[in-house]
Amino acid sequence: MSKQKTILSTIALSWKNAAGSWQIWSLLLLVNFIFAKLISAPIANIIDSASLNRVIPANVSLTYIYDLIQNDQHLVSQIMSTLPIILGVYLLWTVFSTAGIVNSVFYKDFKLSTFLSGGLKFFFRFLRLTIYMLILLGFIGFILYKVLTFGEINIFQIDSEDFLISRAVWLSICFAVIYTFLKLWNDWLKITIARLNPKFFFRQSIGAISQILNIKTIVVFLINILIALAMILLFRTIGQIIPIVAILITQVIILARLWYKIANLSSLSMLNSALDRAEES
């Protein structure tokens, strides 16, 4: 009973923290909006230049998109070449902002100054962690791909595609489970880095593996995901029922995802600190 209570109160407090950290999520939302604008604006320019003085059709169709691209191929290739740069910079911002959130939830101080100082303090360590995470994901993806194509699959040699499909389904489930644990491990390690402030974190990353294999941590992590999914579903449904401007609904859904991010790190921070207290006692 008390364990349940602890789980529920951890979650409740985390979401309260998330909602209360309005300076952080406002900034995150704003930056997300600006970066999306950086990508969508040139595309809008193509539409503008193609449809300047044109009567354009009411529905977006393959015909319309194709004619649009034909109209301004130069700008299309420009967008394709700048897109990786924008995505790269956004990735760096995400590393910075995650470091800021971790700092804020660890000190339970949701002022912008704490967020920014945390971003600066942990940026390079989190960047390293991100690179490790991407390498790990790539490696796991490679292994799963090898398993998927194991046995030199030649469509002329197989009896039916059934086994390939079921293999793909099982591997997708495997990937989802592995990714979930990897993500939990990654988030937990971030909190640990904030708590112990180590220069290198090899020992902590090994320790995190055993620490996350804890029913309470897993339950809290999963419930937070469920809450986020429920919120997104709710907002989507509201958006479909009530004729609200689509862009507003998008902002609310993005906001729900940002709240989840803060709430999740906040929950893990509380659990991580509790572990710390338990170790001390």
Partner 1 sequence: MTIWLLTVVPVVTFGQIERLNDEYRIQVSLDTATHTLTAKTTLTWTNPDDKPVDHMLFHMYYNAFKNTNSTFFSENEFPESLRPPQDDGCHWSYTDITDIKDNNGNDLTTMISYIQPDDTNILDQSVLRLDLITAVNPGESITLSFDWNAAIPNIMPRTGYNKEYYFFAQWFPKLGVYETAGMRYAEEGSWNCHQYHANGEYYSDFANYNVSMTVPNSYVVASSGWLQAKHTFDSQMTTWTFTCDNIIDFTWATSPHFTVQKDKFKDTDILFYTYPYKEDIASRYFTAIKYCMHYLDEKLGDYPYPTLSIVDPPIHGLFTGGMEYPTLVTSISFNFFPQGFRTPETLVMHEFIHQYFMQMVATHEVEEAWMDEGFTTYWEGRILDDFLGESCSMVDFAGFNIGTKEYNRFEFLNSEYNTSAPITDKSYEFESSAYGPISYNKTALWLQTLERMIGVELMDEIWKTYFQRWKYKHPCRQDFIDVVNELVQLKCQKFPDGMDWYFDQVIYGTDLCDYAITNISNDVITTQAGFIDGDIDCLNSIETDSIKSTITIRKIENITVPQQLKVYFKNGNILTEELFATNEYTEVSYTTDSEITKAIIDPDTLIYIDRNLLNNSYTTEKLSQKTNNTMTSWLQGRFQNALEFLSLLI
Q: Which of 1, 146, 150, 155 binds partner 1 (CB under 8 A)?
A: 155
Taking the complex as a whole, how short is the minimal distance between the CB of residue 101 and partner 1, in angstroms? 11
Choice from 189, 193, 254, 270 touching partner 1 (CB under 8 A): 254
Q: Rule CB under 8 A: which of 134-153 touch partner 1?
A: 134, 137
Distance of CA 199 to the CA centre of its chain: 25
User: Rule CB under 8 A: which of 65-84 touch partner 1?
Assistant: 66-68, 70-71
**Residue whose pair of structure tokens reads 């911002």 in the numeric block:** 93
Nearest residue (CB) to partner 1, 42 versus 207: 42
- Closest CB to partner 1 among residues 64, 107: 64
Quick note: the x/- pattern for partner 1 over 6-45, rule CB under 8 A, is --------------------------xx-xxx-xxx-xx-
Euclidean distance between CA atoms 146 and 152, whole angstroms: 10
Q: Does residue 1 interact with partner 1 by CB under 8 A?
A: no
Rounded to an integer, what distance in angstroms lies between the CA atom of residue 37 and that of residue 44? 10
The tokens for 191 are 């909190």
Tell whether residue 177 is a contact of partner 1 (CB under 8 A).
Answer: no
Which lies closer to partner 1 via its Cβ, residue 8 or residue 234? 234
159 binding partner 1? (CB under 8 A): yes
Q: Is 250 in the site for partner 1 (CB under 8 A)?
A: yes
Concatenated DSSP letters of 70-136: HHTHHHHHHHHHHHHHHHHHHHHHHHHHHHHHHHHHHHT---HHHHHHHHHHHHHHHHHHHHHHHHH
Residues in the chain: 281
- Compute the distance between CA of residue 154 and CA of residue 166 in angstroms, rounded to an integer: 17
State which residue, 15 or 259, has the beta carbon closest to partner 1: 259
Binding to partner 1 by residue 94, rule CB under 8 A? yes
Q: State yes or no: residue 56 binds partner 1 (CB under 8 A).
A: yes
Choose one: 104-112, 192-200, 216-224, 257-265; the region binding partner 1 (CB under 8 A): 257-265
Give the per-residue contact string, 219-248, with partner 1 (x = CB under 8 A; - = no). Answer: --------------------------xxx-
Sorted by sequence, the CB contacts under 8 Å of residue 26 that are 6+ apart come out as none
Q: How far is CA 81 from the centre of its chain?
A: 24
Asked whether 10 and 220 are in contact (CB, 8 A), the reply is yes
CB atoms within 10 A of CB 51: 14
By C-alpha distance, which of 45, 44, 42 is closest to 81?
Answer: 42
CB 262, CB 27: distance < 8 Å: no
3-state class of 58 per DSSP?
coil
- CA angle in degrees (0–180, nearest 5) for 251-15-131: 70
What residues line the site for partner 1 (CB under 8 A)?
Answer: 32-33, 35-37, 39-41, 43-44, 47-48, 50-56, 58-64, 66-68, 70-71, 87, 90-91, 94-95, 98, 126, 130, 133-134, 137, 154-162, 165, 183, 245-247, 250-251, 253-254, 257-258, 261
